[in-house]
Amino acid sequence: MDIQYAWLIWSLLLVGIWLVVYIFLNDKEKRKEMLIVSLLTSLTGLTEPLFVPVYWNPPSLFNLASLTGFDIESLIFSFAAGGIVVIIYELIFRTAHEKMEVSSHHATPHRYHLWAILSMPIIFFILLFFTKLNPIYISVISLIVGGLATWYCRPDLKNKMVTSAFLFLGLYFFYFLTLIIMFPGYVQQVWNLQVVSGILVVGIPLEELLYAFSFGFMWSSIYEHFTWRKFKNT
């Protein structure tokens, strides 16, 4: 297959997984949660110029990634990844949401709600502007810090966060293998392995697995944290 379309095909494959998960959800509220988070997460695809070409440089539609740093595929990928991460725990375990009481909003440690939400972007931009770390490491660190801040503020979400981190890591591991199978040598051609660890786990860059784990850890709690919802069974 032409590697020019590898990034597009791979992104659409994740959308296919997203659709399967969406169909298997038997609750309108959960579908709403998945769709809202997907739409919001798709905007993170606009950060792609931070990663191209210092982390990787994938051939893309209309050669947009090389020309501008932006690409359509990143929006598609981010859309699918965000929705899957936020709902994968709820797909496997029986859960239902309820609104938190207003009085609890100001209780310790919930009073740090805003700081917990802002911790990830704050850490990201501090590391981006004041260090020479590769953006992939900055992303991993900021997601972990944001996740820990969320854990402190919303300890009731810890089970979802930790479980989702491992679930998404496992899913992403097998998902990434499809790229290696369909496009042998693609990783070596596209990822800038010389500026990161260069460690490959069954052909998968270690940084990709670190990102999958940290993304699952922090992003899985985003809906409950922003909407002041909790699980009825917690």
From the number of C-beta atoms within 10 Å of its C-beta (0-12, 13-18, 19+), residue 164 rates as buried
| Structure tokens that stand for 207 in this block | 């940084």
Judge contact between 222 and 34, C-beta under 8 A: no
Reported as type and span, the H/E element at residue 218 is: helix 206-219
Separation of first and last alpha carbons in the chain: 48
Q: What is the pLDDT along the chain (234 residues), one digit of tens a residue?
A: 678 899 999 999 999 999 999 999 988 999 999 999 999 999 999 999 999 999 999 999 999 998 898 999 999 999 999 999 999 999 999 888 888 875 555 556 667 778 888 999 999 999 999 999 999 999 999 999 999 999 999 999 999 999 999 999 999 999 999 999 999 999 999 999 999 999 999 999 999 999 999 999 999 999 998 898 888 854
Cα(66)–Cα(64) distance, integer angstroms: 6
Residue where the block lists tokens 């369909």: 182
From the number of C-beta atoms within 10 Å of its C-beta (0-12, 13-18, 19+), residue 219 rates as buried
CA distances from 131 to 43, 125, 126 (A): 24, 10, 8
Domain borders along the chain are: 3-96+110-231
